[in-house]
């Protein structure tokens, strides 16, 4: 039986464009906050890493909190859209604050400014915005193909934005003067762009009535659960735990790739190569995303495609290590591109997998927790990305790296090779293992048969 369609092409594109807003925050923050703090402001990488790690303790609570609030929200805009639209105002303000540390202040005050701004950005405003944005996948359509398409459109915009941010930011900052004021100005421009695009994206789709989402069956008992019970529902769902683990590993991977600006500057002796590597990562991802909906249909589901894609990515990252020690930049870029091609399908269909994960909770526990379920996206992005950035800071500190020095010790060069070549390979192996166990589609199909649900 043909599934009912809910979205026009412009709804899908409008929704997907929301990740432009998300990535003028996320790509800018993860790729450049550490180098801004160490090389421009002069803060110690180890202390910065510790502050970021401490901030994550707060973040872990707010993800489930905001997810639960979204599930209980009822407005004319719907459940998720108000949090997405209004939450971004705070994102824009705190993004600028992170890159506007007063240079005339003492070190303690500068660390405090960064910690407060970074925590508010990640733990409050980005959380509210990103969980709501992700949850819309399950709230604006019940069509599985449209959900995969929404994910593909979303991440095409995400990786395109990341490519632009990583390619132009270094030159943009240099053109603006190259100092702290230049970083602040660039942050303001990115924040304004994000604010406009996020608003347009939030207004481009409309949430379905709750009775339609629940197949016309309204269950009052279903809504009567608190934050603690919501957390228990998530923990009971093994696929939620797997997706959280995968998300965190992906962001750890991205943090090490983001540390490539140090690798390009000190190992390859050309900081502009960081932007070139961004092309090698993002263009193959975008190509893979374009074909993901077709491949999901051809392979009758997402499980095989995701697992095989990451097997390819893992092999390619091993070859990046070989090329790196050979000193061949062209080969490094080639294998980096192949790895990104293998990662693409999971990036495109992960939102649809999360919908299946939410359905698994409904089939096993009888409760709808769509907004709370999408806490795994924000949790993974913030915990993984934040801890990844913290690890970068700690490893730089341990190695003896000093951003304001004209040269770096051999220990720092060796550490940069470990961070950029070896750690991404390790994370790829772990993600592949998790994806090989994440066949939630088959689990749901079995449950439906057992319950006699068509």
Contact 367, 217 (CB under 8 A): no
Determine the Cα angle at 161 with ends 160 and 162, to 5°: 90
Model confidence pLDDT, tens digit, residues 126-161: 989 988 998 898 899 988 888 888 988 988 898 899
Q: How far apart are CA 31 and CA 29, in angstroms?
A: 6
Model confidence pLDDT, tens digit, residues 38-89: 999 999 999 999 998 888 777 767 877 887 888 888 888 899 999 999 999 9
Q: How far apart are CA 258 and CA 169, in angstroms?
A: 13
Q: Is the dihedral of CA 157, 162, 168, 172 positive or negative?
A: positive
Residue, of 400 and 374, whose pLDDT is higher: 400
- 454: pLDDT strictly greater than 70: no
Q: Is residue 189 part of a domain?
A: yes
Q: Is residue 214 part of a domain?
A: no
Contact 386, 53 (CB under 8 A): yes
Q: Is residue 310 part of a domain?
A: yes
In sequence order, the β-bridge partners of residue 78 are: 75
Least confident of 10-19, 131-140, 346-355: 346-355
Q: What is the CATH number of the domain that holds 62?
A: 1.20.1250.20
pLDDT for 18: 95
- 123: pLDDT strictly greater than 70: yes
Nearest of 351, 393, 411 to residue 43 by alpha carbon: 393
Q: Is residue 3 part of a domain?
A: no
Q: Is residue 280 part of a domain?
A: yes
Q: Is residue 436 part of a domain?
A: yes
Q: Is residue 65 part of a domain?
A: yes
Task: Round the CA-based radius of gyration of the chain to a whole number and report it.
Answer: 21
Reported confidence tier of residue 114, pLDDT bands at 50, 70, 90: very high
Count of domains observed in the chain: 1
Q: What pTM was computed for the model?
A: 0.78
Domain span at residue 198 reads 14-202+223-451
- Tokens 């390790």 belong to residue: 426
pLDDT for 221: 45
Q: Is residue 267 part of a domain?
A: yes
């Amino acid at each position: 039986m043909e599934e009912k369609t809910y979205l026009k092409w412009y709804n899908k594109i409008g929704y997907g464009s929301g990740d432009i807003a998300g990535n003028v925050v996320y790509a800018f923050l993860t790729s450049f906050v550490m180098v801004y703090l160490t090389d421009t402001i002069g803060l110690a990488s180890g202390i910065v890493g510790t502050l970021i790690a401490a901030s994550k303790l707060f973040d872990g609570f707010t993800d489930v909190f905001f997810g639960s609030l979204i599930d209980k929200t009822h407005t004319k805009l719907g459940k998720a859209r108000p949090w997405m639209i209004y939450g971004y105002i705070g994102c824009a303000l705190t993004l600028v604050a992170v890159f506007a540390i007063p240079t005339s202040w003492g070190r303690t005050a500068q660390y405090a400014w960064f910690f407060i701004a970074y925590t508010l950005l990640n733990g409050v405003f980005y959380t509210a915005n990103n969980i709501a944005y992700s949850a819309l996948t399950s709230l604006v359509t019940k069509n599985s193909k449209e959900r995969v398409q929404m994910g593909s459109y979303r991440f095409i915009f995400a990786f395109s934005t990341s490519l632009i941010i990583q390619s132009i930011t270094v030159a943009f900052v240099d053109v603006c003067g190259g100092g702290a004021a230049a970083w602040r100005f660039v942050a303001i421009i990115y924040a304004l762009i994000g604010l406009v695009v996020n608003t347009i994206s939030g207004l481009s789709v409309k949430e379905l009535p709750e009775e339609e989402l629940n197949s016309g069956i309204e269950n009052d008992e279903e809504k009567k659960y608190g934050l603690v019970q919501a957390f228990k529902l998530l923990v009971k769902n093994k696929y939620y735990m797997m997706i959280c683990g995968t998300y965190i590993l992906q962001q750890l991977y991205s943090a090490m790739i983001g540390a490539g600006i140090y690798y390009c500057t000190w190992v390859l002796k050309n900081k502009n190569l960081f932007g070139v590597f961004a092309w090698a990562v993002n263009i193959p991802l975008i190509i893979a995303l374009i074909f993901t909906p077709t491949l999901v249909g051809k392979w009758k589901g997402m499980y095989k495609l995701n697992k095989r894609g990451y097997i390819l990515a893992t092999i390619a990252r091993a070859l990046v290590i070989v090329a790196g020690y050979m000193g061949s930049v062209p080969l490094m870029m080639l294998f980096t591109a192949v790895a990104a091609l293998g990662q693409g399908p999971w990036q495109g269909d992960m939102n649809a997998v999360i919908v299946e994960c939410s359905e698994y909770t409904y089939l096993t526990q009888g409760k709808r927790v769509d907004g709370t379920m999408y806490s795994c996206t924000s949790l993974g992005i913030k915990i993984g990305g934040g801890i990844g950035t913290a690890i970068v800071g700690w490893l730089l500190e341990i190695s003896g790296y000093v951003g304001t020095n004209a040269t770096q010790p051999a220990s720092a060069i060796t550490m940069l090779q470990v961070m950029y070549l070896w750690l991404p390979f390790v994370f790829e192996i772990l993600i592949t293992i998790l994806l090989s166990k994440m066949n939630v589609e088959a689990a749901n199909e079995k449950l439906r048969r057992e319950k006699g649900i068509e």
